[in-house]
Amino acid sequence: MSKIKTAFFCNNCGYESAKWIGKCPSCSQWNTFTEEVLDKGNKTVEKWDDYKQEKRNAKTISLSEVVTTEEKRIKSQDDELDRVLGGGIVPGSIVLVAGEPGIGKSTLFLQDGLRMNQLTVLYISGEESEQQIKMRADRLKIKNENFYLLTETSTQTIFQEIKKLRPQLVIVDSIQTLQSNMIDSSAGTVSQIRECAAEFQRFAKETNTPVFLIGHITKDGAIAGPKVLEHMVDTVLQFEGDRHYAYRILRTLKNRFGSTAELGIYEMTGDGMRVVSNPSEILIAQREDQLSGSAIAATLEGMRPLLIEVQALVTQSVYGTPQRTVTGFDLRRLQLLLAVLEKRGGFQFGMKDVFVNIAGGIKVEDPSIDLAVICALLSSYEDSPLPHHICFAGEVGLNGEIRAVNKIEQRIAEAEKLGFEKIFVSKYNKKSFNPQAYKIQIVALSRVDEVYQQLFN
């Protein structure tokens, strides 16, 4: 009998230590270490040699001998998922999808699995029964004879069923509910999550079968489990959204097969997740009354141009300390823009409350919306509404200059497609596009005070 191996793990961040320590060196939390069994002495590795015909021989070869071929991808029936993954599902890849409870992770991948009727799909659930999954599938109204269910938490039983069925796509809901008998600890612990993920990673790579792992998040928003879980998988997707909005965003945090700047937008309906093909229309409020404090920004998420509505409210401060409140925007960036307006424009925001909101419930990190934020602030400050037919794309520097932004042609084309008549950009972007190629009027300016004179004088 081999010796039983144990280690101590931090319940907060997953840091591993050979002995118990009071304070975690990684996350600085106290009394979070618990002892877990790593190896009970009877560990056996699952063999997948007979799963496929071709054998993989491990040998050392020169880099010049490697033959590069175009990577084959499996096209799902979900255009947004294909875009986020970089063009489709890569065979043999393992994808981790995380999000808040109730956000719609299970619904999205049950829907996508049912739509891929050209593949044999196995949906493994450790949280719900067959009846619960069947009720959700009936609500989705999608029929698929090649879709199979397995409600099990033991990885040994799961792999026995996989060898019988030989699926072409595996969806696991969720990785925190699985349990391997090689580890003597309860499901959801750091060692169990790592071991179960390692077993599925071995299965995916040796059988060339794509695997989706649905995961939980902690109250801080991080993916539950050890940090090594994110390193083990090929792609990490974040499914986010606000419960009070019907829209959900699928972001890429890590992708070995594509860009990490892409995102997909869905709308939660009674029949499941609906793909939003033109998100600019839902992010711009359709209103008839002209109200102050609203400006339209031309931003970019990955390769996709978006037009979003920036709302600002500037009021006289009632309390001693003025408030600065933002939703979907960086608070420090707002403070920087307010300082620029005070220093370079002479506007007194020091004794005023300032509120900024990105309509639609999304979070924007693109600096190109700086100009729209400043124009929304000035519109509310002057209590003068901006015209409906204009939008903005420009970064604002500390000296009040309007800096150039990348991919300005795509932003201009998106604004023209949605019917805008005028767009304000930086004059340093003029070399990047041909104004005669667009019907929209392009106003190129260099400073914030020039924008103020154009809009309010």
Residues that constitute the known binding site? 99-106
- The pair phi, psi for residue 46, each rounded to 5°, is -70, 130
Token pair listed for 292: 């102050």
Q: Which helix (H) or strand (E) holds 223?
A: none
Under DSSP, the state recorded for 110 is H
Token pair listed for 77: 């029936």
Q: In whole angstroms, what is the distance from residue 440 CA to residue 454 CA?
A: 17
Q: Are strands 395-396 and 402-403 parallel, antiparallel or unpaired?
A: antiparallel
Annotated binding site for ATP: 99-106
Which residue intervals of 316-369 are DSSP H helices? 331-345
Q: In whole angstroms, what is the distance from residue 63 CA to residue 316 CA?
A: 67
Which residue intervals of 141-287 are DSSP H helices? 155-165, 190-207, 228-232, 279-283
Partners of 5 in beta bridges = 39
Q: Residues 118, 120, 126, CA angle at the centre, nearest 5°? A: 135
Is residue 262 helix, strand or coil? coil
Q: In whole angstroms, what is the distance from residue 450 CA to residue 432 CA?
A: 21
DSSP 188-211: TSHHHHHHHHHHHHHHHHHHT--E
Is residue 256 helix, strand or coil? coil
Strand residues in 60-164 grouped as ranges (E): 94-99, 121-125, 147-151
- The pair phi, psi for residue 29, each rounded to 5°, is -90, 150
Q: In whole angstroms, what is the distance from residue 181 CA to residue 42 CA?
A: 9
